[in-house]
């Protein structure tokens, strides 16, 4: 798309055409399809593990002023998060599972094990908050006592604590969370071969059965009027009628 809109003068370059519309529509359809598949995958996981509520994190204006690299900025900003949240809410509602959205400030920096407080971000007050643990690598978080957790699990747990502060009070050992992360790839969602559905016997609805019975009654009436007792006699009567009509016209 960028190649099509590129020009020496950006104010005069083509911004709308049939080809651009096709590209935009194709991208929107692909994103919509992926979102629904991801939402159904999440719902299946929740049903198998008896999850009663889904909590999603979201920061206001999280796309404005983001700085994660030129390419990553372009990819991240173009993802319609609100659309996915709406799809996930609709899909989960069919199973009676509510989806709650909350702000997620400091959830990656706070320690889940140490039950660190989770303040709401305010501009200019970032340095005033101190946390027990620290991020030691891209995928690992170290708590105050040295326990290593998966960083994404630590952040996800803190997002849940934003809504349910006492959700993990009864959990004492969090070390297992460093090995229970399931990596779901795009191929696993989009290219998976689903099991074939068993063919169900086709049954006629009540209206179809009534129409079939009505046709049978009409056939009996026609046979009686045409003096025909079978389909063969009826066909013979029709042929004779055609011959008589042809003779009259001749």
The mean pLDDT value of the chain amounts to 78
**Predicted structure pTM score:** 0.64
- Residue 111 to residue 158: CA distance in whole angstroms: 8
Dmax over Cα atoms in the chain, in whole Å? 109
* Crossing angle (nearest 10°) for helices 206-225 and 231-249: 60
Confidence of residue 230 (pLDDT cuts 50, 70, 90): low
3-state secondary structure labels for all residues of 145-192: CCCEEEHHHHHHHHHHHHHCCCCCCCCCCCHHHHCCCCCCCHHHHHCC
Beta bridge partners of 56: 101
Give 129's contacts (C-beta < 8 A, 6+ positions apart). Answer: 106, 109, 117, 119
CB burial string 26-51: b at 16+ within 10 A, e below: eeeeeeeeebbebbbebbeebeeeee
Contact by Cβ (8 Å): 100, 163 = yes
pLDDT tens-place string over residues 10-20: 555 556 778 88
pLDDT tens-place string over residues 173-190: 777 777 767 778 877 787
């Amino acid at each position: 798309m960028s190649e099509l809109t590129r020009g020496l003068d950006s104010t005069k370059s083509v911004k709308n055409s049939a080809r651009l519309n096709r590209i935009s529509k194709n991208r929107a359809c692909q994103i919509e399809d992926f979102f629904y598949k991801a939402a159904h995958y999440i719902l299946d996981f929740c049903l198998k593990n008896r999850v009663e509520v889904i909590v999603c994190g979201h920061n206001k204006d999280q796309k404005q002023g983001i700085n994660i690299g030129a390419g990553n900025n372009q990819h991240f900003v173009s993802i319609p998060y609100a659309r996915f949240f709406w799809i996930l809410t609709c899909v989960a509602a069919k199973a009676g599972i509510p989806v709650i959205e909350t702000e997620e400030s400091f959830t990656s920096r706070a320690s889940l094990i140490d039950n660190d407080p989770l303040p709401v971000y305010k501009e200019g007050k970032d340095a005033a908050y101190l946390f027990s643990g620290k991020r030691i690598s891209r995928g690992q978080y170290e708590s105050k006592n040295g326990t290593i957790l998966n960083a994404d699990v630590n952040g996800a747990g803190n997002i849940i604590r934003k809504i349910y502060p006492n959700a993990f009070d009864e959990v004492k050992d969090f070390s297992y969370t460093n090995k229970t992360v399931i990596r779901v790839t795009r191929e696993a969602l989009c290219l998976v071969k689903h099991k074939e559905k068993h063919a169900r016997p086709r049954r006629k609805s009540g209206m179809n059965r009534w129409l079939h019975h009505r046709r049978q009654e009409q056939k009996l009436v026609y046979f009686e009027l045409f003096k025909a007792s079978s389909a063969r006699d009826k066909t013979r009567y029709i042929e004779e009628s055609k011959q008589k009509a042809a003779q009259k016209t001749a």
